[in-house]
Structures are given as structure tokens and as C-alpha cells.
Structure 1
């Protein structure tokens, strides 16, 4: 009984510590996004960068917050994405549906083939190559975990290592290209709608796509969500 209570206390402490860290990044991102020039990258990307910066906190704090961060990133982030989906204009979604699904089909199949070929070219194992390709081509970590059970192998430990590596590849590359696309938008002269389509069609995670377009208004956000959800479909 004492052990059970101790475990619950630790989990509760971890949750609130992770919540405090998340809230700090969120609020700081909103205020910093109001500064000149900084507002070009938006509050969500600033919050993302602050979250990365928090990795320099002491290892003891990181360990205490770890369980809570997993819960927040898994449950709260998905809830936020679902709520974003509710704000989409269904008429606009229906009008764009056929075009975006065709573009998404080409983007998904092309990205999977290209990423798999590059992975093998650089010496990655076949299993790691296909997991990374599906993660980059479809919807990030969720795609990796969805494809992995379909792969038959006798070495389960090796399979789990490849899953972790593939998720790491997807998350790191998604974050890098989120920042890169924000810089490229004015250089390429894209309209808000075009930029939303590019972000939704190229970034792995829905959260990355939302972060990349959040500073450019609702038109970009709607276009990115429609394009990204078409890829997931």
C-alpha cells in the first residue's frame, strides 16, 4: 500500500512539474512573439525552441519530469490537434478534398520511396529504412509505430532500437525543417495558402505543420491542416 501511494505521489509530482515547464514555454512563447522580428516565427515555434532549451536543466529535474512530459505530449497535444480540426470550415474541406488527396497521394508515395532509397544508400538497415520512410512520408512517429508491428523479425530488441531511431529521425528532421520552411517562405514568395499547402504536405507531424504556419494567419493554418490530414488519410 505504501509503495502504491509513493508511486502515485511521484507520478503526480512529475505531472505538475512537466505542466509547469510546458506552461512556461507556452506563455513565454506568446509574449516573445510580440517582439519585433521575433514575431516572424510565431509563438508555437518559439515555445518549441524553449522546450528544447529546457534540456539543459539538471538531470534530476529532467528525470522527475519525464513521466509527466510523456503524458502531456501524448494526450494534451493530440487533444489540441483534435480541437484545431473542429475549427475547419467543412465546405472548404469538401472543396479542397479531391485536389489535396491527389497531391497527398503523390507526396506520400514519393517521400516513402525517396527516403527508403536514401536510407539504404547511407547504409541503414532495411527495417530502419522502411520505418524512417513511412514516418517521413505519412505522419511522423504515429506512422512508425503503426508500421512496426507489421514487420516480422526474430530479434525484438533490435526492432525496438530501430523504432526509437526512426522516431528520433522523424522528430529531429521535422523540427529542423519547421524552422527552415519559416525562413524560406518570404524567399520563395509564397502566398499564405501556398505556404500552408507546402507545410502540410512536407512536414511529418501535424504539430510541426501547425507550428510552421501559426504565425501567418488562419488561411495558412486551414490550408496546412487540410493538406496534412489528407496525407494522414
Structure 2
């Protein structure tokens, strides 16, 4: 499209404002961004802020987590989440090598599947210095599978007559994003929702050690220097501050909302900055990796629950 920079800037201004509206979901923002890119409507100055918006959003979302619930969840679900997170990331990296998928895409898809979908990808992307097309494709894979899980998991649970407790654990382990875990749990029953949310909370906290671990792994690219992701430290501080200053809960709620909306803004910018040439680098194998990894973890965790290898 032949538009001047002023017209393009206006389009971006309208879309960025729309990111703060309830109807604009993370997946929709990413797709709109990709559409802008395909139409040749890129705003280079805005795209340069993508990394800082991502990191700031992660920090702000820390204000929305309840430390007491985190501690309680850790007592009941730590072992389960530890095994599932480590196993999923390890399997994802192995499958990535076997399928010859871009290494950083493999890392992001594995982390997104293992921890909490788009949030984990957004947190880890700046740590491993992922490029926009690597982030975009990882997010697309996770978003598509996440949407399928929201629809399929309750149906499968009812078909196999899973108890609410069993379904809650299965959903928390095998569904990517927290929102879909909550949605699936709520549709299955109150007890399923309670367990799914609690275990998922513990799983989401693995963003911290996984990000730090990959910062250490990536040190070879920095001539031996280890760069700890600063925003992860601020995320922990936000979590602690929200716990020790309870009288500011209303403010923390607003900051958490701003973080979630900031994530939507970042996804719009990420999508708008990819190119067809970059897209070809990702290829179909990225989707194969995501599908195989998700199916493997969902199946293994389901069998473990069916054979009572997971206590609930």
C-alpha cells in the first residue's frame, strides 16, 4: 500500500489504542501486526520499543500475583510442575534438533509449552535475543494449540470420566496459557478450576529459573559474560512488594492490567516487524515441533494421571 509515514503513524496510533480495549486479544494483536507487515505498513521507530515493552509488561504483571497463593501452590504442586517443566523443555530441545528447527524457535516453543504459553515466550525472548520472526512463529504455534486445548480438553475429560481433581491437574500441566487453563477448569467444575489455577500458578513461576538458566547458557555468545535478565529481578520485587504492601491492592490491580495490555501492544509490534523472508526460515517444521511436543506432554501427563502416578 502506498501510504506516507504520517498515514502509517496514524494507523499505528489507532491500533495501539485498540490494544487497551477488551476485544483485542493477544492472538488478534499478533495477527493484525502480521497483516500490517504483509501490507508493507511498517513503523521502524515504534518497532524499536518492542523489547522494552515486553520486559516492562512482565514486571507489571508481577503485581497481579499473590505470594501467599504462590507459597501454598508450591507446597502442593512443586514436584509435579518441576518434572513436567524440565521434561517438556528437554524433549522440546531434543525434537528441535531432530527436526532441524531453528534453535531459538525450539527454545521458545519448548518454554511456552512447558511454562505458560505466550507469557513465557515473551519473558524468554529478550534473554536469548530472539528475532521478531522467531518470536512470532513461536507465539502462533502456541496460540493455535492453546485454542484447541480449551475446546478439546473438557471433551476428552468427560469422555474418559476424569474426576474434577484429575482434570484440574491435567489441564494445569498440559495446557499452555493461564487463561485457557482457567477457562477449561471452569467449564469442568469448581474443584477442577481451583486445582488447575493453583498448580498453574506454580508452573508459571518457572519463568524465573528458566530465564536465568538460559541467560547462563547464552553466556558463550557474550564472550563468557553472564547477563542476568534484569526484568526478572524486577518481576520478583513486584511480587514481593504487592505482598508486603497490601493496602495498595487496587493500584496493583491497575498495574497488572497495564502489564497484560502492554503484552498485547508488544505482540502487535512483533507481528508488524516480521518479513516473508524471515517467515520462510521458520518453516512448517516449527508447527510440527509444537504439535508433537504438546501431544507428547498431554498424552504422558494423561497416562500418569490415569495410572495414579500423580497424586491428587
Indicate the TM-score class for this superposition, using the shorter chain for normalisation: 0.5 to 0.7
Does the Cα contact within 8 Å between 2:93 and 2:110 map onto a contact in 1?
A: yes
Q: Secondary structure at the match of 1:151?
A: coil
Change (3 A) 1:16 1:193: same
In structure 2, the partner of 1:138 is: 115
Does the Cα contact within 8 Å between 1:116 and 1:132 map onto a contact in 2?
A: no
TM, length-normalised to structure 2:
0.46
Distance 2:137 2:15 in 1: 29
In structure 2, the partner of 1:42 is: none
Higher relative contact order (CA 8 A, sep 6+): 2
Distance apart, 1:178 and its partner CA: 2.1
Distance apart, 1:15 and its partner CA: 5.4
Q: Could you report, residue by residue, the CA deviation over 1:19-42 in whole angstroms, capped at 9, with x for unpaired residues?
A: 58x39xxxxxxxxxxxxxxxxxxx
Change (3 A) 1:9 1:167: closer
1:114 aligns with 2:91: yes
1:203 aligns with 2:180: no
Change (3 A) 1:96 1:127: closer
More helix by share: 1
**Structure 2 matches for 1:92-131, cutoff 5 A?**
97-131=74-108
**Structure 2 matches for 1:209-224, cutoff 5 A?**
209-224=181-196
Distance 1:214 1:142 in 2: 21
Distance 2:15 2:198 in 1: 38
Greater shift in the superposed pair: 222-231 or 118-127: 118-127
Which blocks of at least 5 consecutive residues in structure 1 are unaligned?
24-50, 64-74
Greater shift in the superposed pair: 166-175 or 213-222: 213-222
Change (3 A) 1:19 1:114: same
Distance apart, 1:165 and its partner CA: 0.6
Change (3 A) 1:209 1:13: closer
Distance apart, 1:203 and its partner CA: 1.0
Distance apart, 1:202 and its partner CA: 1.3
How many residues are paired up? 175
Moved over 4 A (4+): 7-20, 92-96
Distance 1:99 1:105 in 2: 12
Greater shift in the superposed pair: 93-102 or 163-172: 93-102
In structure 2, the partner of 1:190 is: 162
The RMSD of aligned alpha carbons is 4.0
TM, length-normalised to structure 1:
0.60
